[in-house]
């Protein structure tokens, strides 16, 4: 479990990137839900934490594919692959991420430090 931030540091409608390898984006939706996905878009090297959060979806800041934060599914190209999702836990006013053990769908040319 990775500590992300105190819950007070992530207001509704905001996102935060944690510098894991690969980085993870944590979102706090307007409805008060918390979600975490890999920060890197599956199309190219863009940070989803920089994207536009609307409902439970984030729109990639570069080419506007939208990812469903609950499932990681992508709505329309250019991104074709879903983004990996992670579990979020809040304990003692702190947001934690439980990283997935599944392989990430990183775009061509982006690698993790270990791979």
Binding site for other proteins (CB under 8 A): 46-47, 50-52, 59, 61-64, 76-78, 80, 108-109
Q: Does 88 bind ligand FES (CB under 6 A)?
A: no
Shortest separation between residue 6's beta carbon and ligand FES, angstroms: 29
Whether 13 contacts 28, CB under 8 Å: yes
Shortest separation between residue 20's beta carbon and other proteins, angstroms: 20
What's the CA gap between 5 and 88, in Å, rounded?
12
Shortest separation between residue 44's beta carbon and other proteins, angstroms: 9
Q: Does 60 bind ligand FES (CB under 6 A)?
A: yes
Binding residue (CB under 6 A) for ligand FES from 29, 65, 85, 105 = 65
Whether 17 contacts 49, CB under 8 Å: yes
Burial class of residue 97 (count of CB atoms within 10 Å of its CB; 0-12, 13-18, 19+)? buried
Q: List interacting residues with ligand FES (CB under 6 A).
A: 41, 43-44, 46, 60, 62-63, 65, 78-79
């Amino acid at each position: 479990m990775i500590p992300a931030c105190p819950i007070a540091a992530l207001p509704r409608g905001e996102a935060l990137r944690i510098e894991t390898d690969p980085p993870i984006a944590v979102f706090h939706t307007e409805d008060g839900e918390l979600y975490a996905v890999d920060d890197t878009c599956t199309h190219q090297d863009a940070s989803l934490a920089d994207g536009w959060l609307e409902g439970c979806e984030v729109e990639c800041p570069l080419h506007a594919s939208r990812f469903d934060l609950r499932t990681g599914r992508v709505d329309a190209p250019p991104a074709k692959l879903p983004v990996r999702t992670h579990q979020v836990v809040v304990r003692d006013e702190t947001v934690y991420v439980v990283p997935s053990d599944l392989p990430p769908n990183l775009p061509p040319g982006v690698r993790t430090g270990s791979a």
